[in-house]
């Protein structure tokens, strides 16, 4: 059985890469992980195409949990999910959680074999604190 994948989407490629590095150091390679950040011109922003590519890289039949930093990242991530084929779109969720803490706890939960819903719930509990 495969573990839930994690995608990190930030307006800053450095924030996305740094968050992914923290996740890797905490959970190793047990969780499919991808990140993307920045606009196509190298500035701050997000790209639907880059988000779709990150979903592909982190794809797992168990699903993919996405952690995003700001409103534009959330909007573009939701657009990317809507563009996925029918069999995949229902297996990708955008978590309402802080990007760094959310990614670390989501990946930790995923590494233990938790379901997509459990991974999402654990990440989103951080927002309630």
Residues 6+ apart with CB under 8 A from 59: 5, 32, 88
* pLDDT reported for residue 103: 97
Range of the domain at 43: 5-128
Residues 2/61, Cβ–Cβ less than 8 Å: yes
The answer to whether 121 is a known catalytic residue is no
- In total, the chain counts a number of residues equal to 129
Structural domain tally of the chain? 1
Does the pLDDT value for residue 124 go beyond 90? yes
Tokens of 75: 């909007």
C-alpha triplet 20, 17, 93: angle, nearest 5°: 55
Tokens of 19: 């968050």
Does the pLDDT value for residue 129 go beyond 70? no
Residues 34/5, Cβ–Cβ less than 8 Å: yes
CATH number for the domain that contains residue 31:
3.40.50.510
Residues 5/64, Cβ–Cβ less than 8 Å: yes
Which of 3, 7, 8, 11 does the annotation list as catalytic? Answer: 11
The tens digit of pLDDT for each residue in 22-43 reads 999 999 999 999 999 999 898 9
The tens digit of pLDDT for each residue in 43-99 reads 999 999 999 999 999 999 999 999 999 889 999 999 999 999 999 999 999 999 999
This prediction's pTM: 0.96
């Amino acid at each position: 059985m495969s573990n839930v994948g994690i995608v990190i989407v930030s307006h800053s490629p450095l924030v996305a890469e740094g968050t992914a590095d923290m996740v890797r150091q905490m959970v190793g390679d047990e969780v499919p992980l991808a990140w993307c950040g920045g606009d196509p011109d190298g500035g701050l922003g997000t790209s639907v195409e880059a988000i779709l590519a990150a979903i592909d890289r982190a794809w797992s039949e168990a699903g993919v949990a996405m952690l995003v930093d700001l409103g534009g990242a959330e909007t573009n991530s939701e657009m990317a999910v809507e563009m996925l084929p029918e069999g995949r779109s229902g297996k990708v969720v955008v978590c309402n959680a802080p990007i760094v803490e959310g990614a670390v706890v989501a990946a930790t939960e995923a590494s233990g074999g938790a379901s997509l819903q459990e991974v999402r719930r654990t990440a989103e509990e951080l927002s309630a604190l």
